[in-house]
Amino acid sequence: MKIITLGATDSLLGPYLAQIRDKSAQKDSMRFRRNLERIGEIFGYEISKTLSYKTVETETPLGIAQSRVLDTPLVLATILRAGLPVHQGLLNCFDGAQNAFVAAYRKYGKGNECDMEIEYQSCPPLEGKTLVIADAMLASGASMLMTYESLVGNGEPAHTHIVCPVASRDGVENLSKNLPHKRVTLWVGAIDEELTNHSYIVPGLGDAGDLAYGAKN
């Protein structure tokens, strides 16, 4: 698996990452969502450089122009609900893409043991297409791995891009271990070194779903 850390190079991504981490800025949920969306747009632009294109003729008011247009069938997927703003940013870039949605949640058992479960999936056929899976954070990586396995049941993608603005070192290593083949690229903004026993990233940014859409029961 290839790993690309966009935050390692100075760009507009840095200020947006700083704002989604800032506990004062987080009080404005609309701003938080919009920053995640803008981060998704940056990842979308960078991913666009890896895709295939073709030349078409475009008629202008004054003649014919040769234009390069996307020639890669795309499916954009996200894990509800925290991944939705990042997904929207990607969709702003790839407005002709098909879309997939997965509902995954943590199920706690005895002794505070935690398992991931998928409750719902909606996905088009994936065979031979490029799959982009977005989530706001990559903690342990368990939900991302389960989501990936669930989605590829709809066909084997030609390539999969996984987008997570904030990741933990443990989560990155988990995906690297379990998705070793070359047809997966992990795109992250920042990699944080600490992951608590309850799978919270430190310093992280808190609960992205609650910050974007309000607290849940």
- Three-state secondary structure call for residue 5: strand
> Minimum mean pLDDT among 13-27, 57-71, 106-120, 183-197: which range?
106-120
The stretch 147-162 carries a mean pLDDT of: 96
Q: Using a pLDDT cut of 90, give the percent of the chain over it.
A: 87
> Minimum mean pLDDT among 48-52, 127-131, 170-174, 179-183: which range?
179-183
Among candidate residues 138, 140, 182, the one with its CA nearest the CA of residue 163: 138
Asked whether residue 75 is domain-assigned, the answer is: no
pLDDT for residue 152 is more than 60: yes
Asked whether residue 68 is domain-assigned, the answer is: no
Query: Which residue pairs, CB below 8 angstroms and at least 24 apart, start in 31-36?
Result: 32/85, 32/211, 32/212, 33/85, 33/212, 33/213, 34/85, 36/85, 36/86, 36/89, 36/136, 36/165, 36/208, 36/212
Asked whether residue 109 is domain-assigned, the answer is: yes
Q: Using a pLDDT cut of 70, give the percent of the chain over it.
A: 94
Taking every pair of Cα atoms in the chain, the longest distance, rounded to a whole number of angstroms, is 72
pLDDT 10s digits, 82-105: 999 999 999 999 999 999 999 977
pLDDT 10s digits, 43-61: 999 999 999 999 999 999 9
The stretch 53-77 carries a mean pLDDT of: 98
Asked whether residue 199 is domain-assigned, the answer is: yes
Following DSSP, what letter does each residue of 196-211 receive, concatenated? -TT--EESS-S-HHHH
The stretch 23-32 carries a mean pLDDT of: 97
pLDDT at 216: 83
Asked whether residue 113 is domain-assigned, the answer is: yes
Question: Could you tell me the residue range of the domain that residue 96 belongs to?
Answer: 2-49+81-213
Asked whether residue 54 is domain-assigned, the answer is: no
pLDDT bin (cut points 50, 70, 90) of residue 180 is: confident
Helix (H) or strand (E) holding 188: strand 184-192
- How many distinct structural domains can be found in the chain? 1
pLDDT for residue 199 is more than 80: yes
Asked whether residue 63 is domain-assigned, the answer is: no
Identify the CATH number of the domain in which residue 6 sits. Answer: 3.40.50.2020
CA distance 208 to 81: 9
- Average pLDDT score over the chain: 94
pLDDT for residue 110 is more than 90: no
The stretch 22-46 carries a mean pLDDT of: 98
Asked whether residue 62 is domain-assigned, the answer is: no
Place of tokens 């609650």: 210
